[in-house]
Amino acid sequence: MQQLIAKVIIPHVSPNRQTLLFSATMTSDLEVLKAASIRAAPFIYDANPTHTTVDTLRQSYIFLPVLMKELYLVHLLQQHPEISIIVFTAKRRTCQYVFQMLKQLEFSATPLHSALSQPERLASIQRFKSSVSRILVCTDVASRYKYDKC
CA 45/CA 113 separation, integer angstroms: 28
26: confidence class by pLDDT, cuts 50, 70, 90: low
* Residue 142, amino acid: A
pLDDT cut 90: percent of the chain above it = 40
Q: Per residue in 13-23, pLDDT tens? A: 776 777 666 66
The reply to whether 31 and 100 lie within a common domain is: no
The reply to whether 37 and 97 lie within a common domain is: no
The reply to whether 103 and 142 lie within a common domain is: yes
Q: What is the DSSP letter of 26?
A: -
Q: What is the pTM of this model?
A: 0.61
The reply to whether 44 and 73 lie within a common domain is: no
CA 2/CA 9 separation, integer angstroms: 10
CATH code: domain of residue 131: 3.40.50.300
The reply to whether 143 and 78 lie within a common domain is: yes
Our count of domains for the chain comes to 2
Domain span at residue 134 reads 66-149
Residue 27 belongs to some domain of the structure: yes
